Chains A and B, each alone.
Chain A
């Protein structure tokens, strides 16, 4: 196996990250150091600097992450995302992805 792929980040139900302090009023984007590879379950994200592998376990979340750069704030990207998941789920996922540096401030 690879060096310990970490099946974390974007784990909607994990609840291990407090999204309460996540500020959706900022502009976010896909970290330029992250490669995103589409998969049937969503996508694999690999951070070329931290060498961390993260599984995005929903195609809708992948679309949201890709759409971030077209929105002035994360909140507006979430508002425009399909209702596949609740806004709260999307916020938690983005908070977790920011924690693992898959997304970052624009």
Chain B
């Protein structure tokens, strides 16, 4: 742009927009699975979840705000009996839906129904390219269920559904096989970052990719700009050429989360009081929360680079992921625990596990014993 009348785009986006570009909407905390890394600690439905009418009112607001699409998850969205009613209501109001499912409930009839809808993207979660890798994370039988769902989608002619992978140190070496699987099914690959959010906090240090794996992943992604990442690996851009995408943390600035009970958080990975901005049931609804929440306003203030100020790569990685820092007990204005230069290692080693914040809700099914890592293993 030749004119200097408008601030650079990244600055404008960091200062927040009048409405999010897109947002994540978890429709229910109910889930038939109990993945060890579940970012929302899902399992049991919450009795206070939004009703069909309330959910439609949220869609009305998003349509008015011209939020072009929502990422729908949970829990397992297909567990909601009104799922298709809400889905159709959203796309009829020009709010596109990208929804994530474990596939268990995605039978041939539902696949055909999905294939008839415009503006709906389906993402099947698969955290290993074989059952031996996937099932320890997502549960016995979950690999077969995902494969069956993908076969149903393919048979229904739903072109370009997505295979969604949360990277762990066990599956990051399988990405080439994933790519072949996606090609065989006419699917698209979506690779995102593991965060220590929800139950993910219990397994983060043992599952997160090693530093060597991160460097390989960076080069792999750089060579494959067509692989979707949800912009989640911008901390890797410190390694050189930036990965495609905006390369900034959009939490509370251009994205946010609406949880099943209508609570609004800065992003799907920070379900914690610290990042709670309000509830869509309050007067003024979602719009007022987005525009007026003091917490969101704080996030939109220019941040300090903190301990990263002296690092020459700060402009590339922006200090990494806020949620990942918060739930590992690191300061928000410092390096990401997965800083590719190891700049967080010393601080991580000094953290007293008892002081690490925990998610402020837990809908895990009873009988599950929360794992609390004593000393987090280091690389």
The reply to whether the CB of A46 lies closer than 8 angstroms to some CB of chain B is: yes
Contact A2 B2 (CB under 8 A): no
The reply to whether the CB of B22 lies closer than 8 angstroms to some CB of chain A is: yes
- What secondary structure prevails in chain B residues at the interface with A? loop
Q: Which of A22-30, A35-43, A71-79 forms contacts with chain B?
A: A35-43
Chain B residues contacting A84 (CB-CB under 8 Å) are 3
Contact B244 A41 (CB under 8 A): no
Contact B244 A4 (CB under 8 A): yes
User: What is the 8 Å Cβ interface bit string for chain B, positions 50-85, against chain A (1 contact, 0 not)?
Assistant: 000000000000000010110100000000000000
Contact B246 A1 (CB under 8 A): yes
Contact B68 A46 (CB under 8 A): yes
- Please measure, in the bound complex, the distance between the C-alpha atom of A29 and the C-alpha atom of B188, giving whole angstroms: 31
Which of A35, A48, A89 is within 8 Å of B2, CB to CB?
A89
Which of A4, A11, A13, A59 is within 8 Å of B228, CB to CB?
A4
Chain A residues contacting B254 (CB-CB under 8 Å) are 1-2
Report the minimal beta-carbon distance from B98 to chain A, rounded to whole angstroms.
7
Contact A35 B245 (CB under 8 A): no
- Please measure, in the bound complex, the distance between the C-alpha atom of A58 and the C-alpha atom of B12, giving whole angstroms: 13
Chain B residues contacting A42 (CB-CB under 8 Å) are 6
Q: Which of B27-35, B141-149, B229-237 forms contacts with chain A?
A: B229-237
Contact residues, B87-121 vs A (CB, 8 A)? 94, 96, 98, 118-119, 121
- Please measure, in the bound complex, the distance between the C-alpha atom of A2 and the C-alpha atom of B254, giving whole angstroms: 9
The reply to whether the CB of B369 lies closer than 8 angstroms to some CB of chain A is: no
- Please measure, in the bound complex, the distance between the C-alpha atom of A59 and the C-alpha atom of B255, giving whole angstroms: 23
Chain A residue with Cβ nearest B188: A3
Q: Which of B228, B245, B255 has the most CB of A within 10 A?
A: B245
Chain A residue with Cβ nearest B121: A51
Contact A3 B255 (CB under 8 A): no
User: What is the 8 Å Cβ interface bit string for chain B, positions 321-346, against chain A (1 contact, 0 not)?
Assistant: 00000000000000000000000000
Report the minimal beta-carbon distance from B10 to chain A, rounded to whole angstroms.
9
Contact residues, B213-271 vs A (CB, 8 A)? 228-232, 244-246, 250, 254-255
- Please measure, in the bound complex, the distance between the C-alpha atom of A48 and the C-alpha atom of B118, giving whole angstroms: 9
Contact A13 B2 (CB under 8 A): yes
In the assembled complex, 7 residue pairs joining A and B whose CB atoms fall closer than 8 Å, in A order, are A1-B232, A4-B245, A5-B231, A11-B1, A39-B18, A48-B118, A53-B68
List residues of chain B with CB under 8 Å of any chain A CB: 1-3, 6-7, 9, 12, 17-19, 21-22, 66, 68-69, 71, 94, 96, 98, 118-119, 121, 190, 228-232, 244-246, 250, 254-255
Q: A5-B246, A41-B6, A48-B68 are in contact. List 4 more A-B contacts (CB 8 A).
A: A2-B21, A3-B98, A11-B1, A53-B21
